[in-house]
Chain A
């Protein structure tokens, strides 16, 4: 229906309802139509331009989500516009086509608008919620912004603390630490004044020690028991204090309003606070007080983060101070050690010098003192041999006795020094035990019989005849021990017994550290000397073997000696890998001296270690070589006779020949050794040797051939060896040499060296 008709109807209804007699000057239908025409035109224009604008702006925006809605909307508007446009043709008479187009347009419009209307029901709530989200995000952004600000502040504080700590800890000097703290705090927090009060030694007052701006703080002190101080010390937090409190009165009172003041405690930790397993307990009551003042003119307040900063710094300062203290301590200890080292070094050098001086002295004494001593003794002995009156004889005897005593003393002292040095070495040799004991007995018997003491000697049957050890020193030990037994016995008997110690008798319960190690080549000789003398009280026993001590009550004129005897014995016994001790049941009950020493057994494998020089007595020698048949070949009568005499002296049965033929004629298997002089120019002795070898071959009983020569050159030796001689000896031959050669020959079948 056209709007014209509508308008008509409206008008008519108004006219009808009004019933008024209005003679309206109704505009002509033409005018109305014109107005409608124009309105429709503009509406169409508007309807067409709105979508264009929409499209244009949406295209620009690029974030609008509902594009297809826009398309729909656009379509709706366009169609409405089209409808209004087509209306323009329907004012007048129009053809049927126009009517059809009009109808189509209207139908389409109706369709689209209905769909759009339905769509909008969905869309509009969505659009609205977008708006809500936007609001929410804005709020959130604001909150985050606030939090960011907060973190930034904290980070700033942390940075300050780190920087301060770094500054403070970069030095280990106490003074610098404290000064740096104040300076850095002052800078970071822009303080007016910063001061440190340290407790005095007595701990009753706090003394102003460091300030930021005062150059030389006067020795200002405040008593430590002030309530404000107690308050600060009572907590580890920074506490705001009144600017009028004594600790804050750092400057001469100014005209200005002082700024806010804060005080914090600084624990002073001691070395001893740091246990390995515990954290430092703040059981120490020593604190210092740090006071910080804000600038008086500003209206600044202490912020929380600033207070936290101060607290952290105070803790760091405490740690830094304790580090400084530790360092001081260790430096001091190190200096002490260095001093000690120097002192020890000096002492060592002095000791070395002393030892050297003593050795030099001993060396000199050794010679210088012994020489006149020996002279005195020798000449006195000689004097004794001459004709003397009885009185003179007595005097000479006394001189001799005294000088012998003195000589013994010198020897003892020198021996002991060398023993202690460890420079004394035993003279190891083979000797007869029986002979040794018998000699000791012989030496002791005269003295003992004078004192009417019985001396008995019992040697067990399993003692070896010959042993290897230091004969002289063993004699010394025995004489000393037996001599003591005789000395300290006024009556009764002294019994000496010696036997081979078996494992049970090797151990002395009093000497658990003495271990006897029995072996095949050694025996442990145990000697016991028992006397019925005055005995020894139990408390003296440990001192017996120390130097220079004598049991005082018995120091009668009879007891000579230096008190060194037992000490020396002990050292000798120790050198012999043994042990010596004395048992006594008490005063008046006699005593027993016992020692165990290690001796080698002669005639066993260990001899190859020692240079075996058999110092056997001469008659024993003869028994070995007795009747040994030897042949001597030498063309020089005198030489022959001398060699014969030599061998005869050693007990051999000697046959002499003067020529090669004689030699070959005489030599038999019975001759054990053939000595031939190879310096005979006329005879080829080597040939003789070869013949003898051929004749007797390699049989065990072949005579051994030894060359005697005045030549030591290699050629001679080689020739001898070539023909298979068993030895070469250089003339002239001494008795000892011949003896040892014979021994070697008989033992090894060859002379190892000429």
Chain B
């Protein structure tokens, strides 16, 4: 059983790496700040919602691109949504991928869109994994008796 300090260190390192790799940005920090006694699971809730939303949107996007006549407007709307969600969370790389996606939509470039979709999916899966690991570490830490400093 690792000590609280060790866990804390691990958590800090992991979090730091997320920022360093630009997977998460400042917005996530803001999110964490919003978590307080009245809202203890705020971050987890928001992230869960993000997962649901994103998966839905990705499915829609795949479906839309499979159509013979691609409705770029709808495509754009979905990507816009995904972009908004990811920026609210602070998932920086997903957001960037979405921006690239939108450019191809504007150009009505199906090939490009397909490529971008794949990119977005990859990034999304990456950030999903990272979040899950992060939450696991946090749970471990809290269970070991650690506590986060209250802002």
Q: Which residues of A contact B (CB under 8 A)?
A: 618, 635-639, 641-643, 645-646, 648-649, 677, 679, 681-682, 710, 731-735
Contacts and interface: CB of A to CB of B under 8 A. Distances in A.
Contacts of B151: 618
Contact of A638 (B26, B34, B36, B50): B50
Given A638-B49, A641-B49, A732 B85 contact: no
B85 A636 contact: yes
A648 B38 contact: yes
Nearest to B25: A732
A642 B77 contact: no
Nearest to B54: A638
B89 A638 contact: yes
B42 interface: yes
B39 A649 contact: yes
A740 to B, nearest CB: 14
Interface in B39-84: 39, 42, 45-46, 49-50, 53, 76-77, 80-81, 84
A636 B33 contact: no
A35 B76 CA distance: 185
B87 interface: yes
Contacts of A638: 46, 49-50, 53, 84-85, 88-89
Q: Which 7 A-B pairs have the closest CB atoms?
A: A638-B85, A636-B84, A645-B34, A639-B88, A642-B88, A649-B34, A732-B27
A558 B84 CA distance: 63
Nearest to A646: B34
Interface string B90-127: 10000000000000000000000000000000000000
Contacts of B77: 681-682
Interface string B132-149: 000000000000000000
A642 B80 contact: no
Given A636-B81, A681-B77, A732 B49 contact: no
B4 interface: no
Contact of B34 (A636, A637, A735): A735
Contacts of A618: 151
B87 A731 contact: yes
Contact of A642 (B31, B36, B81): B31
B30 interface: yes
B46 A645 contact: yes
A618 B36 CA distance: 12
Nearest to B77: A681
Contacts of B30: 646, 732-735
B34 to A, nearest CB: 4
Contact of B53 (A637, A646, A679, A732): A637
10 contacts: A636-B88, A637-B53, A638-B50, A638-B53, A642-B88, A648-B38, A649-B33, A649-B36, A710-B84, A735-B33
A253 to B, nearest CB: 119
Interface residues of B, number: 26
A329 to B, nearest CB: 79
Most chain B C-beta atoms within 10 Å of own C-beta, residue among A642, A643, A733: A642
Contacts of B42: 645
B31 to A, nearest CB: 7
B149 to A, nearest CB: 13
Contacts of B84: 636, 638-639, 677, 679, 710
Nearest to B56: A637
Nearest to B45: A641
Contacts of B39: 645, 648-649
Contacts of A646: 30, 34
B103 to A, nearest CB: 15
A639 B85 contact: yes
A591 B30 CA distance: 52
A636 B36 CA distance: 23
Nearest to A642: B88
Given A642-B89, A732-B87, A735-B34, A679 B49 contact: no
A635 B83 CA distance: 13
A278 to B, nearest CB: 90
B38 A679 contact: no
Contacts of A635: 81
Contacts of A731: 87-88
Contacts of A710: 84, 87
B80 A681 contact: yes
Contacts of A679: 80, 84
Contacts of B81: 635-636
Contacts of A637: 49, 53, 85
A732 B33 contact: no
Given A636-B53, A636-B88, 19 more contacts: A618-B151, A636-B81, A636-B84, A638-B49, A638-B50, A638-B53, A638-B88, A639-B84, A639-B85, A642-B31, A642-B88, A645-B39, A645-B42, A646-B34, A648-B38, A649-B39, A679-B84, A682-B77, A710-B84
Contacts of A639: 84-85, 88
Nearest to A647: B34
Contacts of A649: 33-34, 36, 39
Most chain B C-beta atoms within 10 Å of own C-beta, residue among A636, A643, A646, A682: A636
A641 B43 CA distance: 10
Contacts of A681: 76-77, 80
B48 to A, nearest CB: 10
Contacts of A682: 77
